[in-house]
Each structure stands twice: as C-alpha cells, then as structure tokens.
C-alpha cells in the first residue's frame, strides 16, 4: 500500500483551496450587502491571491499572520467601525492560519498516511458540511440572545447596539418579564403543569419500558409503536384528537386535562431512553434477588432502579422540556386559566409584538442547555455503569 508523504504544497494548490474558502465567506458577506455573486468573486480573488503570494513565505509565518490580523482589523474599522473591526480581526486570524495550514500540509499530520487525496478531501468536506449545518441551526438561537438586551422596543439591532454603545443595551425586557402579571401567571402555570406531566410520564413510561423489555410479552412491537406514536403523528392531529376526546369526558379546559395531554407527549421519550438503558441490563441480577427472597417491588427499587436511573432521569428531563416548551396541544386542550409560557409567547407574537418574548426565549434556551447538559452527563454515567466506556 502506497503511503502519501507529508510535504509542502505548491502555491497553486494553496491558492485554489484558499479561493474556495474565500468564496464561501464572501457569499455571506455579499448576500448581506445585496450582491452574493460579487461577494463570492471578491472573496475568492482576495483570499486566493493571498494564498498564492504567501504560500512560499513559510519561514515568516508568525509575522505574516500578525500583519494579516492587523490589516483586516483596520480595513474593517474603516468600513464599518468597531463591530466590523472585530469581524476583520477574526477573519484575518483565520486567513493567516488557513493559508499556512495548507501550505505546510499540516492538515495531513493527524491523518493516516495511506489516505488518497480524494479521501483527504472527503474527510474535510464532510466536516465542513457538518459545521455549516450546525451554524445554520444554532445561529438563529444565538441572534436572539443579544437582541433580548435591546434598550429599544425593536426586534432588530439598533445603531447603538452595533457600535457596542452601553446605552443601546438594557435589562428592561427581563424586568418586564419578572414584573408583568400576565407573564408571571403564564410562568407559574408552566411550572405547575410541567412537573406533574413529567412525574406521570416517568411513572407510566418506565413501567411500560420494563414490561416491553420482557421477551414473553405478546405483540411487543405493536404496543411499542402505539406508545411512541405521539412522537411520529403530527402534533396538530394529536391536539385535535385530544380536544374532541377531552370535550366528551369533561377534561377540556382543565388543569388535569393539560397535564394528561403533556404526559402523553412525554411518555415516548421516557420509553425510548429507559429501553436503551435496559439493553445493557444484566437480568441475572433480578433472578439472583428473587432467589434470595426479594419480592418484585423490592427487586425493582433495590436492584433494577439504581442501574436504570440515568435513563429514567434522562427521559424525565426530555419529558419536562417537551411539556415546558409545548404550545399546540395546550391551545386546543387548555383554557385561559392554563395559559402557559409558550402560549403567552405565541400571543405576544400574534396580538402584540412584545420584545419581552426575546428575554423569555433566552431564559428558555439557557434552561434547555442546562437540562441537556445534565442529560449528557447522565448518558455517560449510564455507559460507565454498563461497562461501555472505560472512563
């Protein structure tokens, strides 16, 4: 098998790849300025030309990188002030690093030496595609956060915010959230509904997962498909069905009805996470407990529950997030007395454009990040308990 040597690249190769990167960034800048094609051409020409000119100057890499950082920062400041200077500084740092990363073939150092150029290209192309998808998904969330500190009642960045003027930033929207009676009532409704729905989801979902994990249960796959169907069926259909059913039995517009509806939405998450945890569960432990005289309830709480607890808590957190963020079902099943936080946000968008929504959205994002961090920590702990991870 032929090995590909790690050697310095030609200026033409560096210029070609750098031009592609410059065109990618130029597309975004040009689109923001009203001409995506012009941005692509200018970005490709600028970065490609720098790559061709600097590829042979590897012995002065440190100096050249600092010069590029300073040059792009100054150019950004001249064209758009301090914010553009910061973007220019970051772009200059990237361009300097990228050009010498290519020209010295540092991109191959950590790869297997037998990879062909095509395989190396796909290796990095795949990562660029994944990074672009991640950026497109996360950028709308990140944009909301600074907007929530807007001193004006606008959903856009004001000139003061763009200039990083302290007068352009304020906590007024957060104060409105914590002092407004409507927002506080909606928050307390969510706090009352979500935990109760989570408790029901965890209880029923855990029991269902344990029961369906037994090989002697008939029609296991069909029952599992029915139980996780709320994740698959469009939410509007589930909400309409719950509305007609709850109306007939007198639960429509009641607190208990909303809790049951949210519990039905959370049960599939608990079933899936607990079932995944039970895959690595050693069933000889329950048989050993039974041989020692322990009853089914004692065996469950003293033997089985401690081992599957990470999966149960993970499912509970997902159920809590589902209930806390859900708006479609509560619009059908609930009434004005069960107006939750997402429902109030929906009203703020439809009836009165309130920037307080941005502050609430930021708080919900932070809460969701904290909960998902806990879920990830529990997932790793579950893997260690099942012997799937060495650390």
203 & 337 share domain? yes
The verdict on residue 139 lying in a domain is no
286 vs 123, higher pLDDT: 123
- Of the candidates 115, 133, 149, which is a domain's last residue? 115
Do 213 and 109 share a structural domain? no
Six token digits for residue 46: 């600028």
Q: Are residues 109 and 208 in the same domain?
A: no
Asked if residue 88 and residue 201 are part of one domain, the reply reads: no
Q: State yes or no: pLDDT of 197 exceeds 90.
A: yes
The vertex-191 CA angle with 188 and 194, nearest 5°, equals 140
pLDDT bucket at 387, cuts 50 / 70 / 90:
low
Q: Which of 328, 340, 167, 299 is nearest to 237 (CA)?
A: 328
Q: What is the CATH number of the domain that holds 310?
A: 1.10.3720.10
Q: Is residue 376 part of a domain?
A: no
User: What are 123-166's pLDDT values in tens digits?
Assistant: 888 988 898 888 888 888 888 888 888 888 777 777 777 777 78
Same domain membership, residue 92 and residue 197? no
Give which of 258, 270, 245, 253 is closest to 194, Cα–Cα: 258
Residues in CB range of 149: below 8 A, 6 or more apart:
169, 170, 171, 173
pLDDT number for residue 76: 84
Long-range contacts from 293-300, C-beta under 8 angstroms, 24+ separation: 300/210
d(CA 346, CA 344): 5
Domain membership of residue 80 (yes or no) is yes
- Is the pLDDT score of 362 beyond 60? yes
Domain endpoint, select from 115, 139, 160: 115
Q: What is the pLDDT of residue 352?
A: 66
Give percent of the chain above pLDDT 70: 95
Q: Specify the higher pLDDT residue, 291 or 193.
A: 193
pLDDT digits (tens, 9 = 90+) for 40-80: 888 889 888 988 888 888 888 889 899 989 998 898 888 77
Question: Does residue 96 sit in the same domain as residue 189?
Answer: no
Asked if residue 26 belongs to a domain, the reply is yes
Q: Are 43 and 83 in contact (CB under 8 A)?
A: no
The Cβ of residue 256 has, within 10 Å, a number of other Cβ atoms equal to 13
Residues 110 and 256 in one domain: no
CB 151 within 8 A of CB 169: yes
Give the model's pLDDT for residue 1: 46
Q: In this predicted model, what pLDDT tens digit does every residue of 343-354 receive, in sequence order?
A: 888 887 776 677
Same domain, yes or no, for 104 and 250? no
Same domain, 218 and 110: no
Predicted local confidence at residue 6, as pLDDT = 62
Choosing from 70, 89, 115, the residue where a domain stops is 115
Q: Let me know if residue 173 belongs to a domain.
A: no
In a domain, 132, yes or no: no
The Cα–Cα gap between 388 and 279 comes to 12
> What is the C-alpha separation between 230 and 32, in angstroms, rounded?
40
**How far is Cα 301 from Cα 201, in angstroms, rounded to an integer?**
18
Enclosing domain of residue 29: 11-115
Total domain count, the chain? 2
- At 123 the pLDDT is 87
- State pTM to two decimals: 0.71
Structure-token match 């763009």, residue found:
162
| First-to-final CA distance of the chain | 35
């Amino acid at each position: 098998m032929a090995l590909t040597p790690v050697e310095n690249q030609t200026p033409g190769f560096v210029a070609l790849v750098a031009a592609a990167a410059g065109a990618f960034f130029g597309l975004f800048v040009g689109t923001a300025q009203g001409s995506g094609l012009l941005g692509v051409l200018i970005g490709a020409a600028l970065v490609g030309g720098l790559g061709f000119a600097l590829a042979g100057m590897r012995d002065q890499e440190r100096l050249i990188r600092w010069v590029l950082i300073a040059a792009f920062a100054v150019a950004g400041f001249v064209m758009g002030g301090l914010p553009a200077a910061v973007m220019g500084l970051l772009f200059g740092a990237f361009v300097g690093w990228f050009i010498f990363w290519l020209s010295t073939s540092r991109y191959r150092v950590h790869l297997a030496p037998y990879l062909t150029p095509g395989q190396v290209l796909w290796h990095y192309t795949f990562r660029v595609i994944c990074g672009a998808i991640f950026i497109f998904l996360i950028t709308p969330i990140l944009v909301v956060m600074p907007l929530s500190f807007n001193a004006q009642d606008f959903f856009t960045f004001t000139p003061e915010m763009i200039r990083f003027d302290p007068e352009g930033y304020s906590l007024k929207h957060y104060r409105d959230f914590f002092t407004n009676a409507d927002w506080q009532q909606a928050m307390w409704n969510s706090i009352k509904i979500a935990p109760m729905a989570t408790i029901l989801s965890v209880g029923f979902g855990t029991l269902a997962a344990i029961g369906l994990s037994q090989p002697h249960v008939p029609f296991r796959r069909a029952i599992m498909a029915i139980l996780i169907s709320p994740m698959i069926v469009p939410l509007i259909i589930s909400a309409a069905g719950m509305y007609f059913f709850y109306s007939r039995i007198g639960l429509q517009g009641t607190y208990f009805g909303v809790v049951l509806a949210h519990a039905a939405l959370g049960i599939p998450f608990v079933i899936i996470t607990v079932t995944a945890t039970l895959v690595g569960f050693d069933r000889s432990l329950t048989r050993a407990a039974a041989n020692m005289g322990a009853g089914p309830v004692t065996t469950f709480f003293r033997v089985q529950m401690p081992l599957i607890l990470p999966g149960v808590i993970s499912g509970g957190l997902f159920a809590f997030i589902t209930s806390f963020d859900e708006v479609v079902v509560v619009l059908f099943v609930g009434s004005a007395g069960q107006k939750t936080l997402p429902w109030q946000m929906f009203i703020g968008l439809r009836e009165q454009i309130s920037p307080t929504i941005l502050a609430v959205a930021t708080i919900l994002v932070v809460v969701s990040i904290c909960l998902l961090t806990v879920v990830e920590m529990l997932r790793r702990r579950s893997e260690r308990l099942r012997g799937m991870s060495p650390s």
